[in-house]
Amino acid sequence: MHTLSAEELRKIYPESDGKPMAENTLQFEWIALIKLNLEACFVQQPDVFIAADLFWYPVEGNGGIRVAPDVMVALGRPKGHRGSYIQFLEDNIAPQVIFEILSPGNTRAEMAKKLKFYANYGALEYYVYDPDHNKLEIYTRHHDQLYPHAYQDVWVSPLLQVKFEWTTETLLLSKPNGEPFLSYLELVEFHDQAIEALSESRQLLKQEQQKLVEIKSEKQQIQRQYEAGLVQVADALQRAQEASQKAEQERQKAEQERQKAEQERQKAEQERQKAEQEQSRVKNSIKAFQSMGLPNTEIASILGLSLEELKAYLIDLL
């Protein structure tokens, strides 16, 4: 267990390099969109940590090995504020899902270096989106490397269950419940609409409450007028219920009789088929014994038939 103070940890693992979170407003909007909506996806799960532009230090004692993903998700780690993600202080759990949003300033060499970093230090899913050119790259881990997926218009993150849907205009993201990711402005608009709807609902509730007071007064008057008839209504309901129960019992009885009759019919049919099968077997046996040249008396004896019964079968065979 480490014995370093918070100040000593910050010296070894700085929390900032002085660089801005995003190079332009478009990149910032995408980072905020992904971070805020992922937090909404996992708001009920205390062991999912999500951060944006936070240094990740994967190697204990080496503050030079670091990267600040645009957005990262660490499953199995508690929510809470952090100055950086120091992996050995996080049960040595590496962030499993990484998002990078490209800006014009990102170079191929820089992105290749980041891909190698995430592959070397345990990321399981890696998403790179270029909003300027509407291009999405998807990488998933196989053994010890991150490999790109063939381009797909629709993709669901195996770990997050977030859906990526590419269109010719933009990339659409959806939560596991199917709700779309909303921008900050859309969230504000949704909040304002909810507040307005709540205000209207409260006003309507107030009006309805006043109506209820009036209705209650009228109801009391009506109730006094009809109390005398309540007993009659109750009696009528009781009789109707008894009649309904009796009718149901009769229906069930009739159904049982029908089922019994059906069973008897099926039994008779089975007996008939059995008798036909037996007659067919006996006839076939008689034919076989006749072809063997056996006399009728011997055939009757073998089959356990009287001569009269055998003659009846012989007549049917003619």
Instruction: Using a pLDDT cut of 90, give the percent of the chain over it.
Output: 61
What topology is assigned to 6-182 in CATH? Answer: tt1808, chain A (3.90.1570)
Identify the band that residue 9 occupies on the pLDDT scale cut at 50, 70 and 90: confident
List, in sequence order, the alpha helices (H) in 127-183: none
Of these ranges, 82-86, 241-245, 275-279, the one predicted with the greatest mean pLDDT is 82-86
Task: Name the band, by pLDDT with cuts 50, 70 and 90, for residue 265.
Answer: very high
Residues 187-192, mean pLDDT to the nearest whole number:
78
Residue with tokens 């009006």: 207
Predicted confidence (pLDDT) at residue 78 exceeds the cutoff of 60: yes
Domains in the chain: boundaries:
6-182, 188-278
Structure confidence at residue 103 as a pLDDT band (50, 70, 90): very high
Query: What mean pLDDT do residues 262-278 have?
Result: 91
Q: Of 111, 114, 116, nearest to 145 (Cα)?
A: 116
Higher pLDDT residue, 67 or 186? 67
Nearest to 37 by CA among 178, 192, 180, 158: 180
| Whole-number Å distance between alpha carbons of 236 and 223 | 18
Which range, of 216-225, 228-237, 276-285, averages the lowest pLDDT? 228-237
- Least Cα distance to 19 among 63, 54, 60 occurs for 54
Least confident stretch, 30-39, 98-107, 216-225 = 216-225
Q: For 23-27, 123-127, 196-200, which range has the lowest pLDDT when averaged over its residues?
A: 196-200
- Banded model confidence at residue 209, pLDDT cuts 50, 70, 90: confident
pLDDT for res 59: 96
Helix axes 296-303, 307-317, angle to 10 degrees: 110
- In this predicted structure, what is the pLDDT of residue 18? 67
Give the residue among 20, 22, 17 at the shortest CA–CA distance from 32: 22
User: Contact at 8 Å (CB) between 139 and 149?
Assistant: yes
pLDDT value at 147 more than 60: yes
Task: Please report the pLDDT score of residue 58 as a whole number.
Answer: 98
- pLDDT tier at 47, thresholds 50, 70, 90: very high
Residue 251 pLDDT > 70: yes
**Mean pLDDT over residues 110-136, rounded?**
97
Strand order across the beta sheet in which 154-156 lies: 154-156, 163-166, 171-174
What would the two tokens of residue 185 be?
């402005």
Higher pLDDT, 151 or 171: 171
